[in-house]
């Protein structure tokens, strides 16, 4: 059974959908106006209040101040922070001094060398993607030599989760656009994706 994260939640109905589907993680893109799924810390706190116990909320950040991330982890709003910018090991060390919350570092993977570089991260988990939320799959054979647990992202849908799980054996799969219709989260697709990750019909 593969763990699953549904990312890019921004509306109360999105929370209702994940509460029904019960993925392991759900994600919020915080203070990144370039994303149409962007939410503020205040919006996250409001949405988080209605989230079912047992679904771990993850904040997705791009080059944000460490203090901003730590506050949301330390006050219990988030269970983990997912870093998608130019954060380096010095940044991770600075964040570690402020919080004990889980850190996931995202890497764009195009070659085996990219995958090996990701493996050296001091983050608790790494996330391997074709790009910064590109919504496109990549050559999964590149990940053959990755030995540490990782989140797999990029172009995943309810239909290709079983193949991704079988070929890559990731710790978790991470979906956003793959569970949307016309740019908005789709209840049926979320339910199907979680069922696929859990190996259910």
Q: How far apart are CA 158 and CA 166, in angstroms?
A: 14
The answer to whether 105 touches 85, Cβ cutoff 8 Å, is no
Q: Check which CATH number belongs to the domain holding 60 and give it.
A: 3.20.20.70
Q: What is the pLDDT of residue 136?
A: 63
Average pLDDT, the chain: 94
| Chain segment 178-192, per-residue pLDDT in tens | 999 999 999 999 999
Among the listed residues 7, 14, 24, 174, the single catalytic one is 7
DSSP designation for 113: H
Sequence-distant (6+) residues with CB within 8 A of 82 are 27, 58, 59, 60, 61, 104, 105, 106, 127
Of 33-42, 57-66, 138-147, 186-195, minimum mean pLDDT range: 138-147
Question: Residues in the chain, how many?
Answer: 201
129 is catalytic: yes
pLDDT surpassing 90 at residue 73: yes
Number of structural domains, the chain?
A: 1
| Chain segment 16-30, per-residue pLDDT in tens | 999 999 999 999 999
Q: Which domain holds residue 96?
A: 3-197
> Is the full-model pTM beyond 0.85?
yes
Among the listed residues 14, 24, 129, 174, the single catalytic one is 129
| Chain segment 81-139, per-residue pLDDT in tens | 999 999 999 999 999 999 999 999 999 998 889 988 999 999 999 999 986 555 567 78
Q: What is the pLDDT of residue 112?
A: 87
Helix ranges restricted to H, 149-186: 161-168
Q: What single string gives the DSSP state of each residue in the chain?
A: --EEEE----SHHHHHHHHHH--SEEEEEES-TTSTTEE-HHHHHHHHTTSPTTPEEEEEESS--HHHHHHHHHTTS-SEEEE-SS--HHHHHHHHHH--SEEEEEEE-SSHHHHHHHHT--SSEEEEESSSS------GGGGGG--S-EEEESS--TTTHHHHHHHH--SEEEESGGGEETTEE-HHHHHHHHHHHTT--
Question: Using CB atoms within 10 A of its CB, is residue 27 exposed (0-12), middle (13-18) or buried (19+)?
Answer: buried
Q: Average of pLDDT values for 3-12?
A: 98
7 is catalytic: yes
């Amino acid at each position: 059974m593969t763990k699953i994260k549904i990312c890019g939640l921004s509306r109360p109905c999105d929370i209702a959908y994940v509460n029904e589907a019960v993925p392991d993680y759900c994600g919020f893109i915080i203070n990144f106006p370039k994303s149409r799924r962007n939410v503020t810390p205040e919006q996250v706190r409001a949405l988080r209040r209605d989230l079912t116990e047992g679904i771990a909320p993850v904040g997705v950040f791009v080059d944000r101040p460490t203090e901003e991330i730590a506050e949301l982890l330390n006050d219990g709003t988030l269970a983990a922070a997912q870093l998608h910018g130019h954060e380096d090991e010095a940044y991770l060390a600075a964040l570690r001094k402020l919080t004990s919350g889980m850190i996931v570092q995202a890497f764009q993977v195009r070659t085996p060398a990219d995958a090996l570089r990701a493996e050296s991260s001091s983050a608790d988990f790494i996330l391997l993607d074709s790009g910064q939320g590109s919504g496109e799959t990549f050559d999964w054979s590149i990940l053959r030599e990755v030995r540490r647990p990782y989140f797999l992202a990029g172009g995943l849908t309810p239909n290709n989760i079983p193949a991704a799980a079988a070929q890559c054996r990731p710790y978790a799969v991470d979906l956003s656009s793959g569970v949307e219709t016309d740019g908005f989260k789709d209840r049926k697709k979320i339910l199907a994706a979680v069922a696929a990750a859990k190996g259910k019909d």
